[in-house]
Structure 1
């Protein structure tokens, strides 16, 4: 992980400096930053408050957490996301246990944010917190409750029932949460609803087809693309299915799409995800493209995706295709195994790793969750057992069981 040797190292050094500065830094910098409106004059107020809260939490004194929680209670709604982000990133002994008790002292209006924080940490949330969110009237809060129920075996039947109820909901977030929870828990109704939505072009449902479908569903995904034409959602999903035939389709799309069509880069990304081709390491398969401005990147981060060179790419595939197994599912050119998944999560594309971690969670029925938005050290710890977990990634969560 490049983050651990670059931005994370600099951030940790900054936090250590604030901690070692002692009481003067706490009184003059950290506490004022967490006071209501105390970070408004900074360049990035949310980041400023998050680092201040992390520095306070990193102090080896028992009053650190109460100080941060007090800032949460007395702060404005605009201030709370930064504090919750710090709590989600907080590392140390017994931290999970401390947080599992702290939420009960806060107002129930903030309980959804507490649940979201537990989900970001990839730990099982308190059952009463999940039940509160499941029965909320607001769709996005109920969606959080559905996601949380997947981590609690005691709520399996309840989560499945809520997933069945909401798998055709008009609210996108609630429907997506129902898909994921229902597929992990084996709901027949959710399975049918997800496949129907994918056939209609729903990007989220198509991503699930790519992530946890089998050969039959992957063939259907290819068929949808060939009949209806590619979309950003279907091309994103195509890269996760890991079939050699899907790589053939990606290459055909690259040939057919116009040079200026952004979907050409998406098809190239899918091709590389399946075959393991690295445009940076293999000459002649990609063409240079001008570096986009920061303003353009803020609007469309996909401008950083490499642009394929069709003749060179066809020649590479002509030589590589016979060496790639067409009878099994692939991840980066190799059969998908727990060990291979671990390697890709450690060293592969950061853009795709959140979805791959989601596939792990669904295949495990919610028992294995990777905190992909935590610091890299915590993520590596979460991956230590993955290489020996007996997952079968050929098994479809969308087929009959």
Structure 2
């Protein structure tokens, strides 16, 4: 009973600690922020925020305590850090959902001291969390500490002295409110400028990526090696893609490919291949479930002409222990959903390569042990062994005579019956 009361008290205490901050908020670092394209000064909906909370491995809530302007001059390390990550600015006063309600690994850090000290502490703590939980897995939230309400106390004084003190208190409160509003306005304008600069850099980066993809897309080989040597697929012929367009199936040979990446999760790995097809982008995402120390293939997701289709594997699924590849020359990988299909022939694949090694490990082959040539060899061997054994038994059954004629012995006689 006491333990139950203690847990209730502890949860109320934690929630109370989360009420001592307010917006505006700056979110950065998590992979899900790449899909959030919020218009300027628009609040994030609760569903997107709670989903991000639950998928993050760790959440660090930084509560900034001070009046220093949040700009590049006062926070150079923080500015450099968020420029390398996807970030979102939320102008709202309060978050629609608290992080502690959806994630058990939440840490609240109050930043104190001058701006330079806050900048160093913020960057160091966030980098430590990223090194522990991984890139893109940690959600950082920057907020402002809530200030206590200001009250004006009147003293029992007579005449003009009390009125003057009351007016001074009101003027002081009004001045503090103006300073606070001015600070928020400066933070919003600085963040808007940063966002515009980041969007400009992202646009420039996308243009450079398109140019690089245009150069890389001309690869004509059949080696699909993911970046950082994480996954590998090899075929001897072009994969065949069938797509229904205007109620008419079209068949394409996927001969040109660009970037190949790998998405590693705890329960599965996805090999993502970018093909070029009729001046359109085609993305193929092959899913490899991981279970019991083995990997297999379950489905492929195809994205073409802004349409995504999941193609289940209808042929025999390859399977091998993690750390081994799978090779098959006479069977095909057939992914199909209705009239849309993807066929891969004569392939070898390994979703989880050994670290730093960009080549296949030892391979499991799809050829069964008891094939027709093997059965023929076993039958011929058994036949020859049987004939030889029977011949040896016949030779051993021959009886030789044990008496012989001589000048000193009686003549041998044999009785023959007709």
TM-score by length of 1: 0.24
Please say which structure displays the higher CA radius of gyration: 2
Identify the structure with bigger relative contact order (alpha carbons < 8 Å, sequence gap 6+): 1
